[in-house]
Amino acid sequence: MRSRSFLEYRNFLYLKLSLLLMIAAIAAYILHSPAIGGYGGTWLGYVLGTLSAAIVCLLLWLGVRKRSYFGAGTMQGWLSAHVYLGLSLIVLATLHSSFQFGWNVHTLAYVLMMAVILSGFYGLYAYFRFPHLLTENLSEDSFESLLQEISKLDKLARVSALHLPDEIIALTNNAIYNTRIGGTVREQMRSQHLDCPTTLAVKKLHGLSKTLPMAQIKTHRELYTLMLRRETLVARARRDVMLRARLSGWLFVHVPLSLALLAALIAHVTAIFFYW
Ligand code: HEM
Ligand code: HEM
């Protein structure tokens, strides 16, 4: 799992570089005040626009760099640059546009860029928060070992249920065969399933204990304990799925939005030179 150190890469080199870029852009914007007011078509507008577009291309390149063992720099350095230069775009692209927004492809590029940056911040939060929670949830186990333990419990539960009334056998089988771990994207994102058959079995078994003859009480208690343990293991396995989905799921927003940004940017620049 990634440590916090990439943010501190080379003594905050990229944070310093980004701050420098932002301060220089703000100073130039204040000093440079054309008679017609600031807009993307002044020399400063072109400089800031070109710089912003170059940074976007560099950030997009992370997707390629991530998948190749060769190439300049370490992944830590690339990610550090990605985060801080991504941040600087908020200032550079906003000053480039001179706060002139409307219902057009230029503003679409800007909105998409902001959405990518926002999703990036969520990703950063996920990278620091979820790996720690994943370890805490699994402790010494792995996802596979949880499933194996559930399967062992199921064998024992099936044997115990055989000595109990049909209603209990049905509840047990329902828990064993119909409990889902994972499933649809929505189910993966939530660790609690409201209609979980294992939870239902635990609840109903508890109530049914009073209706049983003395001879079946001991077996019922054994089955109840097995189902309680099953419920705990299922909850941990679901939590693992949820945390892993949240750790990587945001990239399904970040990456398509990045590609949409690239398309809007190409349209923006093409439109500018077409109407020039
Ligand atoms: C991340 C990159 C960029 C973003 C988010 C962006 C966004 C914008 C926005 C929102 C505007 C204001 C549009 C309006 O006045 O309604 C604008 C204007 C402009 N942009 Fe960009 N831009 C980017 C890159 C570029 C590049 C690379 C160039 C050209 C080399 C460029 C050239 C211009 C020009 C000439 C204008 C003035 C258009 C006008 O007012 O008629 N931009 N840009
Ligand atoms: C316009 C701005 C941005 C663009 C175009 C962009 C684009 C990308 C791309 C293409 C990837 C590679 C994903 C993959 O292939 O798996 C990526 C990953 C990532 N981005 Fe961004 N990004 C931007 C801004 C940001 C910002 C501002 C942050 C943080 C504040 C951020 C955080 C991340 C993180 C944490 C990853 C995952 C890296 C990894 O899995 O190793 N991004 N981004």
Q: What is the per-residue pLDDT across 203-237, written as a single tens digit (0 to 9) for each?
A: 999 999 888 999 999 999 999 999 999 999 999 99
138 within some domain = no
136 within some domain = no
What's the pLDDT score for residue 183? 86
Q: How confident is the model at residue 36 (pLDDT cuts 50, 70, 90)?
A: low
Nearest residue to 156 via CA among 211, 213, 228: 228
Whether 78 and 154 map to the same domain: the answer is no
134 within some domain = no
Whether 208 and 226 map to the same domain: the answer is yes
Domain interval for residue 182 = 143-246
121 within some domain = yes
Whether 172 and 188 map to the same domain: the answer is yes
pLDDT at residue 151 greater than cutoff 80: yes
Whether 233 and 253 map to the same domain: the answer is no
Domain count, the chain: 2
pLDDT at residue 179 greater than cutoff 90: yes
What's the pLDDT score for residue 1? 44
Query: Atom 10 in ligand 2: which residue has the minimum CA distance?
Result: 60
Pocket (CB within 6 angstroms of ligand 2): 56, 59-60, 62-63, 66, 79, 82-83, 86-87, 89, 113, 116-117, 120-121, 123-124, 127, 251, 254-255, 258, 261
Whether 37 and 112 map to the same domain: the answer is yes
CA end-to-end distance (rounded Å), the chain: 49
Amino acid sitting at position 214: M
pLDDT tens digits along 56-104: 999 999 998 888 777 777 899 999 999 999 999 999 999 999 999 999 9
Query: Atom 10 in ligand 1: which residue has the minimum CA distance?
Result: 107
Whether 59 and 169 map to the same domain: the answer is no
Burial 151-187 (b: 16+ CB within 10 A, else e): eebbeebeebbeebeeebeebbbebbeebebeeeeeb
Whether 49 and 153 map to the same domain: the answer is no
Whether 225 and 253 map to the same domain: the answer is no
Q: Which two tokens stand for residue 122?
A: 């969520």
